[in-house]
Every structure is written in C-alpha cells, then in structure tokens.
Amino acid sequence: MSHHSSVVVIPCSGIGKPFGTVSREAAYELCENLRPADTDLVALSKLVLGEQDAQARVRSKPAVTIDGCKLMCASKLVKLSGGSVAQEVQVLDVFRRYKHLKPEGIAELNEPGKELARVIAAEIAEALNDTQGGTHA
C-alpha cells in the first residue's frame, strides 16, 4: 500500500462495446489525470478471476464503479467481492444528458466518445470533492 487513496475505481470490462470503452477511458482519465492521489484503479477482470490482491483492495475502501451497460457488472462484482459501492456511474445515464457526445469506435474512440469519458471522469472527481469536504482546490 504505497499510497493512501480514498476510493477504488472499477470500470466495466465492456469489451467490444463503445460504452464499455468509454467506461475504461473515464477511469483512466480520473485515476491518471484528475485524481491520481485519491483513486486506485482496479481492473474488473482481476475481480472476475478472483485475484486476491484486487479483492483486498476493493474491500479496503469504498468503490466507484463505472458501468457501460445495464448489466452493471462492475457494481455487482464489487459487492460479490465483499466491497461496498460508494458511487455507481452508468455511462448511459450520463450520455442521456449529453446526447451530442455519441461514442463510436471500439479500439479507438471517436472524439465525442473521448469527450463523454472526460465528462464522466470530471463528474466523479466532483463527487469525490463533495464526499471529502472539498479539500482539493
């Protein structure tokens, strides 16, 4: 445990679906650019495989899940792994508010898709501010 992050972030694996790709892009944006000190990215596949380190990380702090579809795989797996979901984000819910940002492409998202991912990451970062009493400028 080298850093004291406040949440773990788990995007759905959503392979082969633009919304799944958006979910991963949003997670990277959040964890690498917006809140690197406060977030710890956990790959969903590691929870699926029951990897102990990933499960321990998920149990150790609240989770933010980013799901690309109604199945809510990330959210379900966190609960199955014994973790607690502090915030469930559905890409589709955000997309409904930003209809012009239609994600297309799978290996490489189009520009609207990337923008949607940035919007989602920013919204999660804002929510983290709220729960932490806004210590970040």
CATH code at position 81: 3.40.50
**What is the per-residue pLDDT for 5?**
77
| Positions in the chain short of pLDDT 50 | 1-2, 134, 136-137
- Residue 37 belongs to a domain: yes
- The rounded distance, in Å, linking the Cα atoms of 8 and 57 is 7
Asked, for residue 92, whether it belongs to a domain, the answer is: yes
Residue 136: inside a domain: no
Residue 137 lies in a domain: no
DSSP-derived secondary structure letter, 122: H
Specify if 122 maps to a domain: yes
**Closest among 18, 30, 26 to 102, alpha carbons compared:** 18
What's the pLDDT score for residue 46? 95
Which pTM value belongs to this model?
0.90
Structural domain contains residue 134: no
Total of domains in the chain = 1
Q: Which domain covers residue 30, as residue numbers?
A: 7-129
pLDDT at 132: 62
